[in-house]
């Protein structure tokens, strides 16, 4: 057998300027998270942004930088911001914000903009209304994948579509290469659900999940059950970044951006092309972020990961260096991910699996709340928190630290 993840010659780290300690996350906000709400993503984002401003104690006119993603429909851009708040001031604008990998890397770009005096208070926001829009989307959130022409020609005709199908394939190969088990995938789902059950705003709040119930749930795409797959929900989140010295004068405890890394696969953008089929580019993202922050994986008090499927927790935990490659399955068992006593408290709000499907930006909000000491499933005395973002051919790591 050939392990498909051997070696480190399949990707590279992006160069990131050292911005450690320059900026802090001074305000966070989430919209209501729900199943189909009938709202647009712009309306949802506006609610999250209002709450982030309130949290920071800033006025709309203080926000002079805005970051969002130029996809996923109706995003909250500078025009939407001005329309909603009745403002008209100049804003520094970046379309390299939003969720996924950008929920981490936005902090790097914002830090550079703040360093150069292009902005003082930078908002990053992302929202989706995919539960509301689901029936009009081809394959639900698979729609953007269905539009991709190589996938249309070489993958979709054979039914290797949408995301649950290709990530089940990756999970099955991971099980073969490393002995990962269905119970280990289940341990991730159960930990996330337990945290969501403690988090009032989580979509799956109040719906318990035991490992036994997980194992008795029908397999929909081998080896995945529905509990291995992220929610489809309406929701959004936002966070505001400011220079660390300004943050001292604002309302909240200072949570600084300590380290950022971005990793890239060099073997194409499609999953079938990934030479390291059972790894993620966290292999290249995490080391730089940890080095910039001056921390080791063992220093991390709370971890949130972009987790469309359970296998993404196991792969990224391995690839970020929390355990040896291939031992992620063993690592996540036995309550290791629990907020109260786990060796690596993980997705303490419930993640994409059980909290809300807002593509990672609520993960950053959760890390900030943990480091302030105000999370629902609080990790005692959390000082260092990490968000790992993922898109497939890219992954990112954001290290935050309570000052």
Partner 1 sequence: MRPDFPLPDTDWEPTREYWAAAARGELAVPRCDSCGAYAWYPRETCEACGQSSFTWTMMSGRGRLFAWTIVHHAFLPQFSDAVPYVPGLVALDEDPAVRIVTRIVDCEPERLTFDLPVRVVFRPLSFPGIDRTVTAPFFTPDAQ
Interface residues with partner 1 (CB under 8 A) are 1, 4, 138-140, 142, 146-147, 149-150, 152-162, 164-165, 168-170, 172-173, 176, 218-223, 267-268, 270, 272-273, 275, 277
* Residue closer to partner 1 (CB basis): 82 or 270: 270
Checking DSSP bridges between strand 65-67 and strand 234-243, what pairing results, if any?
A: unpaired
Please report how the helices 41-56 and 78-85 are oriented relative to each other, as an axis angle in degrees rounded to 10: 70
* Residue closer to partner 1 (CB basis): 51 or 145: 145
Burial of 13 (0-12, 13-18, 19+ CB in 10 A): middle
Structure tokens at 77: 């851009």
Smallest gap from Cβ 284 to partner 1, in A, equals: 18
* Residue closer to partner 1 (CB basis): 165 or 359: 165
Tell me the C-alpha distance between 96 and 73, whole Å.
15
Q: What is the CA radius of gyration of the chain?
A: 20
Smallest gap from Cβ 319 to partner 1, in A, equals: 18
SS3 content of the chain, % helix, strand, coil (to 5): 40, 20, 40
Catalytic one of 306, 346, 387, 390: 306
Structure tokens at 34: 């729900």
Checking DSSP bridges between strand 384-390 and strand 65-67, what pairing results, if any?
A: unpaired
Smallest gap from Cβ 10 to partner 1, in A, equals: 11
Smallest gap from Cβ 5 to partner 1, in A, equals: 13
Residue partners of 359: CB distance under 8 A and separation at least 6: 72, 98, 99, 100, 103, 126, 128, 306, 352
Our answer to whether residue 306 is catalytic in this structure is yes
* Residue closer to partner 1 (CB basis): 58 or 170: 170
What is the SS3 assignment for 182? Answer: helix
Smallest gap from Cβ 309 to partner 1, in A, equals: 12
Secondary structure string (H, E, C) spanning 121-162: EEEEEEEEEHHHHHHHCCCHHHHHHHCCHHHHHHCHHHCCCC
Structure tokens at 283: 């292999």
Smallest gap from Cβ 270 to partner 1, in A, equals: 6
Nearest Cα to Cα of residue 250 among 1, 23, 2, 31? 23
Our answer to whether residue 357 is catalytic in this structure is yes
Smallest gap from Cβ 61 to partner 1, in A, equals: 43
Tell me the C-alpha distance between 383 and 402, whole Å.
5
* Residue closer to partner 1 (CB basis): 158 or 381: 158
8-state DSSP, 32: P
* Residue closer to partner 1 (CB basis): 208 or 272: 272
Structure tokens at 222: 């081998």
* Residue closer to partner 1 (CB basis): 73 or 140: 140
Where would I find the beta strands (DSSP E) of 295-382? Answer: 302-305
Structure tokens at 361: 């930006």
Catalytic one of 214, 239, 346, 357: 357
Tell me the C-alpha distance between 337 and 346, whole Å.
5
Catalytically active residues are 306, 357
């Amino acid at each position: 057998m050939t392990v498909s993840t051997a070696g480190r010659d399949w990707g590279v780290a992006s160069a990131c300027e050292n911005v450690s300690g320059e900026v802090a996350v001074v305000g966070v906000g989430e919209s209501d998270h729900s199943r189909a709400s009938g709202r647009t993503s712009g309306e949802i984002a506006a609610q999250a942004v209002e709450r982030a401003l309130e949290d920071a104690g800033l006025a709309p006119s203080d926000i002079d930088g805005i970051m969002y993603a130029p996809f996923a429909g109706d995003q909250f851009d500078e025009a939407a911001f001005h329309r909603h708040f009745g403002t008209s001031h100049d804003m520094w604008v970046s379309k390299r914000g939003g969720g996924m990998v950008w929920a981490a890397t936005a902090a790097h770009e914002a830090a550079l903009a703040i360093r150069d005096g292009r902005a003082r208070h930078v908002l990053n926001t992302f929202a989706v209304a995919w539960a509301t829009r689901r029936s009009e989307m081809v394959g639900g959130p698979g729609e953007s994948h269905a539009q991709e022409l190589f996938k249309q020609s070489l993958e979709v005709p054979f039914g290797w579509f949408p995301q649950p199908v290709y990530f089940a394939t990756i999970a099955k190969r991971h099980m073969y290469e490393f002995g990962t088990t269905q119970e280990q995938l289940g341990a991730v789902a159960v930990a996330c659900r337990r945290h969501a059950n403690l988090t009032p705003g989580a979509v799956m709040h109040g719906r318990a999940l035991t490992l036994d119930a997980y194992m008795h749930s029908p397999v929909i795409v081998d080896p995945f059950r529905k509990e291995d797959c992220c929610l489809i929900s309406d929701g959004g989140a936002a966070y505001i970044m400011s220079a660390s010295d300004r943050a001292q004068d604002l309302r909240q405890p200072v949570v600084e951006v300590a380290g950022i890394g971005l990793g890239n696969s060099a073997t194409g953008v499609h999953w079938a092309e990934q030479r390291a089929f059972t790894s993620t580019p966290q292999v290249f993202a995490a080391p730089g972020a940890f080095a910039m922050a001056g921390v080791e994986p063992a220093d991390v008090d709370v971890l949130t990961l972009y987790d469309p499927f359970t296998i993404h927790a196991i792969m990224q935990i391995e690839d970020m260096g929390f355990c040896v490659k291939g031992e992620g399955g063993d690592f996540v068992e036995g309550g290791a991910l629990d907020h109260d006593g786990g060796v690596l408290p993980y997705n303490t709000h419930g993640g994409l699996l059980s909290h809300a499907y807002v593509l990672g930006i609520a993960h950053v909000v959760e890390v900030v709340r943990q480091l302030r000491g105000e999370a629902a499933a609080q990790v005692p005395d959390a000082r260092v928190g990490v968000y790992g973002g993922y898109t497939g051919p890219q992954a990112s790591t954001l290290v935050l630290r309570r000052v």
